[in-house]
Amino acid sequence: MDRTTILRQAEAWPAPLVVRLHVKGLESLRVSAGAVELEGSVPSTGDHRTSWVLHAGAEEKRLDAASPYWADIRLVAAKPRVPLEDGYFQLTLPPAILEGNPAELHLAWIDFYR
């Protein structure tokens, strides 16, 4: 699992906050801010449909596109299929994860389960 921490450099987070991951696959992505964590994935087979689960305290909830925590993950490449060749996965972080103006965001991802 690869990971990074993004520290807020100003009084507030920029809007929109776009993340680009230059990986060939995205079997798992975790974005956490304080007690809220989003866990998403883009399957390497089928239609590559994004799915998200919200973890907030003891609550775990599968999300749909109507949720304020939803973020589409786009495959940006000349041939948008997994494994990506010369492209990246892009998502705009939902403003809901930035509520409370956290000082840092934690991202962790797995390109392919082995």
Give the DSSP per-residue string, 37-85. EEEEEE-SSTT---EEEEEETTEEEE--TTSTT---EEEESSS--SSPS
Domain 2-110: which CATH number of 1.10.1760, 3.30.450, 2.60.120, 2.30.130: 2.60.120
Distance in angstroms (rounded) separating the CA atoms of residues 48 and 11: 36
What is the CB neighbour count within 10 angstroms for residue 109? 21
Determine the pLDDT at residue 44. Answer: 83
Q: What is the mean pLDDT of residues 70-85?
A: 92
Determine the pLDDT at residue 94. Answer: 96
Confidence of residue 114 (pLDDT cuts 50, 70, 90): low
pTM over 0.85: yes
Q: What is the mean pLDDT of residues 98-110?
A: 96
